Every structure is written in C-alpha cells, then in structure tokens.
Chains A and B, each alone.
Chain A
Amino acid sequence: QTVVTQEPSFSVSPGGTVTLTCGLSSASVSTRYYPSWYQQTPGQAPRTLIYNTNSRSSGVPDRFSGSILGHKAALTITGAQADDESDYYCVLYMGGGIWVFGGGTKLTVL
C-alpha cells in the first residue's frame, strides 16, 4: 500500500519561511508523480495551490512555491501571513487513475 507522508504539524512565525514536505514510503518523489498541493481551512473546501510540482494555480500568491527537495516534494511559504494558518495536503498521482493524498500538515502561524 502506497503511503504519502507529510509532517503532522508545523509552526512558523509571521513573516517567516516554512517548507512542508511530501514523501513516499517506498520511493523518492519526482516530477513524474505530478505533485500537487492544496490548502484547506476548517469547514471549507480545499483550494488548489500548486500543481505539476511547481506551477501555481490561478490567483495563488507567489509566496507559495513548489519544488522537489532531495527525495520529496516540497511546498514553501515565504513571508507567512496569519491567514496561511490552514491544513495543507499534498497529492501524488500514481498513474492509472489513482491519486494518493498525504495525511496533511496543520500549519500554525504564531
């Protein structure tokens, strides 16, 4: 069974920079998994932030960026703001019409 791993929680100071990661239990994450990232605040639908590793979705501020760092996908938030406090999910496309979500990272801005 494929497991996509994310840090359960992370904390960043306002104005600071934070990098959240997305790994695979059994392999390195590469662009071939088309990593994407989603932001979700409680009670709301997810919002698409990043797709195809590092492409920003329409309307997403450029303080959000995606990359591959080592053997994981990464979401970096530069100049964190209070309203960035959310849950962040990565998704990897495994091919054959199968997507696997990570467990999500709860980001606190304080």
Chain B
Amino acid sequence: QVQLMESGGGLVKPGGSLRLSCAASGFTFSDYYMSWVRQAPGKGLEYLSYISTGGTTINYADSMKGRITISRANAENSLFLQMHSLRVDDTAVYYCARLRQGNYFDYWGQGTPVTVSS
C-alpha cells in the first residue's frame, strides 16, 4: 500500500535551517508529482510546494518562496524540503503528499513537526 513517511523535523532556532525528507513506498515514486503542505498549531492546511516527476518543474507558494527548496531523488524514492532562514511562524507540522492527475492530493504522510524557537 502507498506509504509516505516524513522525517527530519525538530527544534531549530530562528534563522536556522532544516532539511525534511519523505520516504515513499508502495508505488512507483518516479511516476508521481509530489508536494509539501504544512499546518501550524491550531491552524489550517497550507500548500507550500510541488515538484514534477523528473524534478524539472517546481513551484512554491508565496508564503515560503525564497526560503525553501524542494527536490527529489527518484532512485531513492525520496522527497526533500530544504528550509532556511526559519521564523517562529514557520512552526508547523509538515506533510508530504502525493499529487494525482496533477491537481489533487491523494495520499498523505503522517507529518513531521518543526518547532522554531529560541
């Protein structure tokens, strides 16, 4: 079955960096667009970024544009999110999600929590 497992979250100081990973299994990873979505404590879901199958097409939401880089390693069935210049308001659970038909999220990981605090 499809599984997505995020890792790499944790406590980081403001201005710091973090690299999140998402390990995929149960499907042919290289056939699917992938994305990152986050959820701040007590808040709603927020789309961050997506990457095409080969990594050639990428887009970012305005909220973190310039501070995040999405990438993937198809040979390793892995998705990544490099984050830098982190702020307190970046504190959230970060989910990776598979994209289907290029327009909706069909499977989600359990999320990895990121806390930005001094």
Footprint of B on A, CB under 8 Å? Answer: 34, 36, 38, 40, 44-48, 51-52, 57, 87, 89, 91, 93, 96-104
Contacts and interface: CB of A to CB of B under 8 A. Distances in A.
B46 A101 contact: yes
- DSSP majority for the B interface? strand
Nearest to A87: B44
A52 B99 CA distance: 13
Contacts, number: 65
A98 B61 contact: yes
| For the complex of A and B, 5 pairs with smallest distance between CB atoms | A97-B59, A36-B104, A51-B104, A34-B103, A99-B47
A40 B105 CA distance: 13
Interface in B33-61: 35, 37, 44-47, 50, 57-59, 61
B95 interface: yes
Contact of A38 (B35, B45, B46, B103): B45
